[in-house]
Every structure is written in C-alpha cells, then in structure tokens.
Amino acid sequence: MAKRQKTKPNQADRLLVIACGMIAREVLAVKEQLGLDHLDLTCLPAEFHFYPDRIAPAMDKAIEQAKADGYVDIFVGYADCGTGGLLDRVCEKHGVERMAGPHCFAFYQGMDAYAKIADDDMMSFYMTDFLCRQFDAFFMKPLGLDRHPELIKDYFGNYEKLVYLAQTDDPELDKVAEKAAKMLGLAYERRSTGYGDLTEELAQAAAVA
C-alpha cells in the first residue's frame, strides 16, 4: 500500500506523482529545483525493485485511492521496471502517463544517451545514489553477502563492470560505489547523470496539470 502525504485542499488543482521509493529524494529535488509547488508525492515501497510483479497491482490500487482522494492529474514515477508491460496496462486503464524507458537506470542517463550505450552495458551492474546509500540493506544483507562472501561469484560473476550513475556529487557515495566494485571484483566507472529525463518529464507533467 502506498504511503501518502497528508492531502491538501483542492487536490483537483494539484499533480500527484506516484513513484518508486528509490527515486523519492530525486523527485523532491526536481520539485524544489523547478519550483513545482503544486506537485505532491507518494511512493510505493523501494523494495519492489526486487519484486517487479508487485508494482502493477500496487500501482492500480494507489491510483484508485488517489482518485478517491480527489486527484485528477496523476503521473506514474516508474519506467517499466521489469513489469513486462503490466504497468502500461494499469496506466492505460486509468488514463495516466509514466516515465519513458525500461528502468530508472535508463531515464537517469537520458533515453537518447542510454540507447547509444545499452548494448555495451549489457554486462554492467548499475548503482545510483539511492543504491549507494542503501547498499547494505539492498544487497549485502538480502543476498547474504555479509555472511557468505563466497556467494559474490554466484550473483555477480556474469558482470564485468560496476557503473555508478551519480545524481549528485557526494564523495561519500563515490567511496561506497568504488568499494562495492572492488568487493564484487568488477571494473569501475562513474557517470555523472544528474536527474536525466526525470527533470523534463516531471516538468511536462506539471505543465499540463
């Protein structure tokens, strides 16, 4: 179930973004950057990153609840994210739009840029600011790597490179990404992406709200 901020009066005049918890900080940063005062945010659990089959049904319920709360303009802060088109069916059902692309790793880089390097990145393991902050909670503990480091080869043996898609310039996050690459035995590359297409798509969604 989505966690909702306290609703404000006249929701019909506001834009509600229902986003993945993994990009909540970034959505709020873009909101502040662009001065989108009429944008509200609610998020589905970030852990759905590991359970993409849960995204579409949870989004369906979240949109229904948002409409019941009085929101007319709703934007889905997800790409397909492993739903295999099921999220698109939910969006079509409710007449709402979502982020373009297959996943956040694509729209952070910008879809045009991603299209040019997607084939070369087939063997790359992506990290973002969120995944750097939550590396232990999202990888080390769930995969048991903190207790059984020998499993690293089983989980990451097919990767060749760790690519850190940096939304911000934070030396502490750089250290986490570099340490992760070393631990996983992968080459390391840092790409400063900022918020990529997220900025433009939120701006467009807010403009029509």
> Residue 60 maps to which CATH number?
3.40.50
Tens of pLDDT, residues 3-50: 444 444 567 789 999 999 999 999 999 999 999 999 999 999 999 999
Q: Are residues 33 and 99 in the same domain?
A: yes
Number of folded domains that form the chain: 2
Q: Are residues 23 and 97 in the same domain?
A: yes
Q: Is residue 148 a part of any domain in this protein?
A: yes
Tell me, what DSSP letter sits at residue 102?
S
Q: Are residues 26 and 89 in the same domain?
A: yes
Confidence (pLDDT) at 10: 66
Question: What is this structure's pTM?
Answer: 0.90
Return the C-alpha torsion angle 60, 66, 72, 75, nearest 10: -60
Residue range(s) defining the domain that contains residue 68: 11-104+195-208
Contact 42, 18 (CB under 8 A): yes
Q: Are residues 49 and 131 in the same domain?
A: no
Judged against a pLDDT cut of 50, whether residue 172 lies above it is answered with yes
Residue type, 166: A
Q: Are residues 71 and 132 in the same domain?
A: no
Q: Are residues 24 and 80 in the same domain?
A: yes
Report the C-alpha gap between 187 and 160 in whole angstroms: 6
Any residues with CB less than 8 A from the CB of 131 and at least 6 apart, and which?
22, 138, 139
Q: Are residues 42 and 86 in the same domain?
A: yes
